[in-house]
Amino acid sequence: MGIVIVGSVALDTVETPAGRVDEAVGGAATYASLAAALLTRPVSVVGVVGGDFPDEHLSMLQARGVDIGGIERAEGRTFRWVGRYHDDMVGRDTLDTQLNVFADFRPHIPEALRTESHLFLANIQPGLQFSVLDQMDRPEVTLLDTMNFWITGALTELRRVMARVDVLVVNDEEARMLTGHRSIHEAGRALLDLGPRFAVVKKGEHGANLYGPDGLFLCPAYPVTDVVDPTGAGDSFAGGLIGSLAGASTLSPESLRRAMVVGTAVASFCVEGFGVQGLLRADRAGLQERYQRLRELTGIPPL
């Protein structure tokens, strides 16, 4: 029972109304692995960094229980992203994207990781996601993320991947793009026709919906008062989700509801600090406390 996470490792420069951070460690696989490692072990990252990637970030991941054996160090510079969030802490502008070594990333799953039980395919080119599925030896649970860029530019490949995964995680805009439905609930249900057994539609500060064969779960957002930096919230949510699932015995409606709320709690820590700083302040006790708080905040008494 271990988790493999395939995705980007990056250096992010981010400006938000709360401040700014320069070349902080980021990337979907970084956030997701730190999140998952809060819940279960082992968690292994498969990704690529350049020669300029500071060793301290790799040490930090290891110290947090993340296996970095699958992070390749390639010649060249690390993937860099520069972004600025709007005053509402929701909208954002990408000011610069330098793919660098990430442009030639061809994920290679080390032999020892191919039998792991849980796989998170973070947002990368769908053809590469497909190649990862081929390398893995039938994981019990696969979780898939993607983005509007691939929905527009690589839909055929993306559909082939979606047909093979257990849980698809997208945001509301992506759900509408993928299905053509304006209603979020129609879109959510229609995602299931594309192949995944379950579909999660993230709505940012408005929580997330889970669609599956047994119906719908409405998951609230955790009431964070001081959002500092939303970067990585979605990846932390996904990492917490698969981390929780890896600790469960089966992929059931109940284990998925629990995993959604755990993911929500993890993401709430993430947005409270710049880069991964918020995640680094999270621990099991803190997650349990926020989980219980969410149960309490949403409890509907009998009629």
Query: Tokens 């709007």 correspond to what residue?
Result: 86
- Compute how many residues bind a second copy; rule: CB under 8 A: 38
CB of 129 to a second copy, least distance (A): 30
* Among 256, 265, 119, 283, CA closest to 197: 256
Closest alpha carbon to 295 in 220, 194, 229, 202: 220
Whichever of 138 and 284 has its CB closer to a second copy, that residue is: 284
Q: Which is nearer to a second copy, 103 or 216 (CB)?
A: 216
The least distance separating a second copy from the CB of residue 273, rounded to whole angstroms, comes to 16
Residue environment code for 187-196, b if the CB has 16+ CB neighbours within 10 A, otherwise e: bbbbbbebbb
Greatest distance between any 2 Cα atoms in the chain: 64
Cα 284 from Cα 171, distance rounded (Å): 27
Q: Write down the least CB distance from residue 170 to a second copy, Å.
A: 18
| The only residue of 22, 152, 216, 283 in contact with a second copy, by rule CB under 8 A | 216
The label of the residue with tokens 């970030």 reads 57
User: Per-residue string for binding with a second copy, 269-288, x by CB under 8 A?
Assistant: -------------------x
Query: Minimum Å distance from CB 260 to a second copy?
Result: 9
Distances (CA, A) of 245 to 54, 236, 248: 32, 14, 5
Residues 14-73 interacting with a second copy (rule: CB under 8 A): none
The nearer residue to a second copy, 5 or 224, going by C-beta atoms, is 224
C-beta closer to a second copy: residue 121 or 170 = 170
Contact between 237 and 208 under an 8 Å Cβ cutoff? The reply is: yes
Residue 215 contacts a second copy per CB under 8 A: yes
DSSP 204-235: GGG-EEEEETTEEEEEPPP--S-----TTHHH
180 binds a second copy (CB under 8 A): no
291 binds a second copy (CB under 8 A): yes
CA 40 vs CA 35, 83, 115, 201, 284: distances in Å:
9, 31, 17, 24, 10
Stretch in the footprint of a second copy (CB under 8 A) among 20-28, 162-170, 212-220, 229-237: 212-220
Cα–Cα distance, 171 to 203 (Å, whole number)? 6
Task: Provide φ and ψ at 256, rounded to 5°.
Answer: -70, -40
What residues between 69 and 88 interact with a second copy by CB under 8 A? 87-88
Residue of 79, 102, 120, 217 that binds a second copy (CB under 8 A): 217
Residues 241-260 that bind a second copy (CB under 8 A): 254, 257-258
Q: Which stretch binds a second copy (CB under 8 A): 44-52, 55-63, 152-160, 198-206?
A: 198-206
Name which of 87 and 134 has its Cβ closer to a second copy.
87
The answer to whether the CB of 287 falls within 8 A of the CB of 279 is no
The binding site for a second copy (CB under 8 A) comprises 87-88, 182-186, 203, 205-207, 215-218, 220, 223-227, 254, 257-258, 261-262, 288, 291-292, 294-295, 297-303
